[in-house]
Amino acid sequence: MARRRGRGGATVRIVGLEQLRARLAELEPELIEASKRTVEAAAEAVRDETRQNVRVKTGNLRNKVGIHYSSDHLKASVGWKDRADWYAAAQEFGTKSIPAQPALGPAMEAERARFEARLRAEVERILR
């Protein structure tokens, strides 16, 4: 409820703020788990799309694209970690003699567009 005070000022009183804070504190563990599920689903989608679109000669790059999670599983890194897979960068970005055929970058951009909806759906499921 707001009341005008003088010129341009307003006083706002929020009713139920402490109850809201308590309820959000109760939901925190569930929201963190929902965030982890969202990060994992997004990382798997990027990995799978990269596997579908990477240039295949021997199948090594397709088979070795991996996911590496942070210790809390709230961050994920998708790509090639083995030094023997150095040529993944040449495929992704191109060289003087090899045209770029990106697979990881487009997969990440596609997932960026879907991530917010994934997270929103998980949070809404908890709040219902």
For the stretch 5-54, pLDDT in tens is 556 678 888 888 888 889 888 889 999 999 999 999 999 999 999 999 99
- Helix/strand/coil for 79: strand
| Residue-wise pLDDT tens digits, 58-103 | 889 999 999 999 999 999 999 999 888 898 999 999 999 989 999 9
**Per-residue pLDDT at 47:** 97
According to the model, what pLDDT value does residue 14 have? Answer: 85
pTM of the model: 0.79
pLDDT > 90? residue 110: yes
Question: What region, left, alpha or beta, does residue 103 occupy, with left being phi > 0 and alpha being psi -120 to 50 degrees?
Answer: alpha
pLDDT of residue 83: 87
Query: For residue 8, what are the CA distances in angstroms to 3, 5, 11, 64, 97?
Result: 11, 7, 10, 62, 66
Can you give the pLDDT at residue 7? Answer: 66
